[in-house]
Amino acid sequence: MNYRFLRTPLAFLSFLLLAFGLTAQQPDFCIEFEEMDLGIYGPPTGYAAGDFIYDEAGVSMYLEVLHNPNGQAVALGALEASDSPLPIGPPALSGTYIAASNASMVFDFSNLPHPVSGVILAYYDAGGYENISVNGGDLWVADTPDGFPSNVAPGVELLVEHPANSPDNTGLIVLLGEVEELLIGGQEFFFDQVCGQLLNDCQIANVSVQPFSCDGEGTYSLSVDFDYGNVGPEGFVVHVDGEPYGPFDYADLPVTVGPIPGFGALPVAVVVQDVVNADCHDIAVIDPVDCSDLCLDFEDIEPGTLWGSSNGNAPGDVVYDAEGVLMSVHGLILPGGPDVFGNVLFDEVPVSQPVDPISGIAGLASNINVGFDFTNLPHPVAALRIGFAYFGGVNNISINGGDLIQFESFTDLPNLLPNVQVVLLPNTADEIGFLFVYGVPIETFALGGQELAFDNLCLYLDNVAPVCSISNLELQQLPCQADGQFFVALSFEHENTGNFGFSVHGNGMDYGTYSYDDLPVIIGPLSGDGSTFFEFAVQDVEFPDCGDSVEFGEVDCAGQCVEMEDLEVGTIYGTASGMQAGDIAFVEDDVSVSVDSFTYFDGSKAFLNATIDDGSFGPPGNPLTGNYAFVSNINMVFDFTGLAEPVVAVSFGFVDGGGQENFAINGGELFVLNNFQELLLQDIPGFNIHLTPAPDVSNISGYITILGPVETLTIGGQELGLDNICTVTAPPCAIGDLVADFIEPTDDGLLYQIDFSVENTDQDHFDLFYNGEFLGFFSLEDLPLQVVLPCGDLPEGEITVCMNDLPDCCASVAVDMSACLPCDLHDLVTEPGPCENGLFMLDVDFQHDGQGGHFKIKADGQIYGPYSYADLPVTIGPFLGDSTTVYPILIRDTEDPACKLVGSFGPVDCGDDCVLYQVALDYVESDGVSLVYELDLTAVNPLSDQFEVHFNGEFVGMFFYADLPVILELPCTDLPEGELTICDAEGTSCCVSVAVDMTPCLACHIGELVVEPHTCDADGNFFFDLDFPHQNGSAGGFKVVVNGQNMGIYGYDELPLTLGPLAGDGSTIYHVVVRDLDDPYCFQDADFGPVDCNEPCVGPPVYAELIGEGDEGFLVLIGQTGPGLTSPVDVYLNDIFVGTFEHLPNDPAIVTVPCGVPSPISITVCYHDIPDCCTLIELELPDCIECHIFNVEAEHMPCNADGFFEVILNFDYVNVGDQFKVVGNGMNY
């Protein structure tokens, strides 16, 4: 904020100076009219305008006429010197005063011994209008003195003050600056006590005060500067709210004064006083400076909210939580009586003062104390401020849990408590003001009373200084001007910036210093020669390390303007040339220009002419260059839609010769104007309009600039010169990199995550469509965005994104919706890779519909995966290529075990060379010097009965194949990974290499935390599982802390852990920190939540499947259908408890159903901790049989050269014998 320092009236100035212990400077002269003859001074008594009528204190006074608001002199009335009482409050016009009735009085101060530096007079305005003129300058006419401008004359500032408790039509007129002559008058205007100050030998004036930003300690400093002359040799002192700083040397101006407490309660008075000349001083008053870091205004509390005994609360109950501050209610202590526990009501409290500590919703304590707990804040509270209004009775206060202190008057508190300051508002009959507490760290604070209102609790946190930030610097070129130059509009985002504005630099130029309130700012003029490369940098003045920069590039002004230079002078477009409204006049550089009817204020229309001219029109320095259009009672319409790119800004030069003007954008509302300056008063949504007057010319000539998407522009006038209609174009809005990634299936469809980039638009919202149907309206800040797409009958859908209000700025992407269809895996394709050392890899691909998110592959006894379907094709292996083995392959969806695909591959002939493969290396232990691993492998066609092992090229040992698995001891290294090479003892051609994990040798490391909340219990709480990868943790284990609460010390071998309980309130985000006990730098953290235990219970996500028969009946498998099951479950068969299963996701339950149980059977699965939250499954059972073969699957192999083919056969079975036979087509296989 830019603080504008205020000069106060002399009477108020005297009051302020006396309050600060300084000598009040009395006026050097006062005209009180007590010696003036009572009576009329005007035509009735022979006085004419300009006549001398009175002299007092060396000031001559004259009679002068009054002017009306149109600037015309009215018939001269009269001035009357009267002492008749007036029915007004202060400032009273005492004794003799002047009554002006359609007349003015002129005061001539030129005969005084010194120049007058300020004038003050008291007035009473009984009606009509008033005149004022200073130093023979502009005459100002206003309905009341409040309507006079502040810059009443060059170098003279006018203020109007209304003292407290006085009517609005009385007050003080103050002139600050050198005054030689004053004219003041009115229709029914009364004034008195015209006083002034002379420039004496010592002069201090024009005090300028600018606060620096708060320093994080609750204080700030001021930059103070001023003008001075004939001052003393010992410098000056600065008094800030009565506290002296200095002395300072005049040569050091401007000086920095501080630190000053940033209480923020009242305006800050700054008095500069010469050390030697106590009467030589000046004052400035700035707005309050508030250095608090956190304020509670209670506006979020519903009006009428009551807490306390009437609401069922008990003493100590926490009733409100905001910004980490807890508010509680407590009993009030009364003198010599029992404690009472009443209520606190939050509502509008009727308190209104010049500075209002009670505003909006406030607390009204009635026989109750209200406590505030600050211990949950991230920084200690160094001080606090709270507004209060005392209406009677006894009050209590306590700091940091100390004894409650009783008091009645707040002014007694500084004597009862150290480190307390009370500021009462001026002119208040009751105790209304602010209470400050400081000096010690404040953890808790309590305040209450019998009739006490409180509001606006503000906290000063210790050592918290906001970090200045300037970002997203943007520049928009404004249209070129006739001289080939252009301006740019500069804007950016900023936070916590300083109070002295920002500077703009670029290309070695300093473009000036600006206020943040002025954004966007206009920079220029700049050369549009097409070769100068521009760059701009913005820097905060107070914090020079805070800034941003951007490269803007070159601008070529050639071809950006309609200049009409190729049109023949004298060409007429309009009625005189036979044209009609809407006809095209000419086309220049793809801009079509047509003519249209002109509209007057009364709604009537005309259609005359626009003439191409090159003669002189308008004042010198106007923007008409060469040919221009002289527009007379006609409109010209410029159509920019033929340009290659959209127009984002337009400017045009004009000379207004008189009459009315027309203006419209994009065929919208047509504005009828007296002049183009009135455009600045219009609100045209989506457009900003600027007027730049021509140099040394008033607003009748200059440039109009329109910022926004202009397609057509209508300009017309009665006597209007128009030229250089220039445009700025920009590439159209474009959406790029639109992606839609599948996340998971849901009950309502498929969850997708959408993300994209957009350029060339200021729009920050977009519309989302799926298959043409509107899904919603979102902000770019929501990206990446997750949405649920509804399932349909097709395997593919389309997502479309359009920027809001920009129907041509869209992009679409196809999305795979096959997961909505029934799961089906088919068309298996296997492709063996090239052989290497007798082994080969296998590429696997297949078609899929309606599947879940992942699948696994089983081949040659090994499980591969899980893989995402998006990863297809995948490569698995290696496999032995022995020319005989046909390998069966099974592919199964991880979420739907019944969805599978069976096939085979091979044989593959990789020769009969020696092969070493299927190497297994299992970690055993480490002593910090070496690692112990167990090695196993498979050898095919070995060349000998032994193999040798090398680690990182160094020989480890020779071993017999018959002894596998064998134990290896490997030396520690500084690297996280090593290489183990195994070769047959008889040949280096038969080798295999594997990586060895060496991280157990390295420093402590805790990897990413995996947190899985359990299902809520009946009390609204939940436990959670915690696991993480780790290496080299200390023997003492690790500590777990959640939101500051120590959850215990655990050994790494105890992982995973189940911790809790925590509250599932639906709002708390939990921060988990795991830290090694011996190495504090070995830690990891993560956030999870919120967890809402109030949501309706959904039973466990499980399925039940008949998988066969056992000795005692049917075998039923109960497993998890999807993610999210982390808690133990109880299983019931026909309401009979079977057992509790702890780890269903990793270890599905198999239960036995005895033969003879009626079908279907009822299977109930409930959360162990919430027995009422269950899933019910009904399962059909077949009749009991001793032997059962089922789920027979047959997959044919490709035909051979002889026209035959083989079949891969697979089935499930229970209670079978040792062998089975296969019969088909009458053949026994």
pLDDT digits (tens, 9 = 90+) for 828-882: 999 999 988 788 999 999 988 776 678 899 988 788 988 988 889 999 988 988 8
Instruction: List the beta strands (DSSP E) in 885-953.
Output: 887-893, 900-905, 915-926, 930-940, 946-951
Which residue carries 């910090």 as its tokens? 928
36: closest CA among 55, 51, 49? 55
Token digits for 867? 């893989």
Position 601, amino acid: F
Distance CA 443, CA 462 (A): 12
Predicted local distance difference test score (pLDDT) of residue 12: 36
| pLDDT recorded at residue 577 | 94
pLDDT 10s digits, 736-778:
999 999 888 888 888 999 999 998 887 889 999 999 999 999 9
- List the single range of 164-168, 302-306, 727-731 with lowest mean pLDDT: 164-168
Residue 20 has pLDDT above 60, yes or no: no
Which pLDDT score, from 0 to 100, does residue 767 have?
A: 93
- Taking a C-beta distance cutoff of 8 angstroms, is the pair 27, 197 a contact? yes
| Structure tokens belonging to residue 20 | 């600060």
Q: What sign has the CA pseudo-torsion 984, 985, 988, 989?
A: negative
Please say whether the beta carbons of 444 and 394 come within 8 A.
Answer: no
Any idea which residue has 């040569």 for tokens? 251
101 close to 80: Cβ distance less than 8 angstroms? yes
414 vs 422: CA distance, rounded Å:
7
pLDDT tens digit sequence for 450-462: 999 999 999 988 8
**1096 contacts: CB under 8 Å, gap ≥ 6:** none
Residue type, 724: N
- pLDDT(54) > 60: yes
Averaged pLDDT score across all residues of the chain: 86
Query: Counting runs of H as helices and runs of E as strands, what totals does the chain give?
Result: 2, 95
Give the whole-angstrom CA distance, residue 298 versus residue 357: 13
Q: Verify cis geometry, omega within 30 degrees of 0, for the bond prior to 1198.
A: no
Instruction: Supply the pTM of this predicted model.
Output: 0.44
The first and second tokens of residue 516, run together, are 């943040």
pLDDT, one tens digit per residue, over 651-698 is 898 999 889 999 999 999 999 999 998 998 888 988 988 888 876 555
**Could you please report the per-residue DSSP string of 628-684?**
EEEEESEEEEEE-TTSSS-EEEEEEEEEE-SS-EEEEETT-PPEEESSGGGGGG---
Q: What does residue 104 show for φ and ψ, rounded to 5 degrees?
A: -130, 155
Whether cis (ω within 30° of 0) applies to the bond prior to 288 is no
- Residue 1196 scores a pLDDT above 80: no
What is the Rg, in whole angstroms, of the alpha carbon atoms belonging to the chain?
A: 45
> How many whole angstroms separate alpha carbon 543 and alpha carbon 546?
6
In angstroms, the Cα distances linking 1059 to 55, 1014, 1019, 1054 are 94, 10, 16, 12
Q: How far apart are CA 426 and CA 47, in angstroms?
A: 48
Give CA–CA dist 650/712, Å, rounded. Answer: 10
Q: What angle do CA 86, 92, 96 make, to 5 degrees?
A: 70
Dist CA 512 CA 499 (whole Å): 16
pLDDT of residue 1122: 62
* Separation of alpha carbons 562 and 724, rounded Å: 5
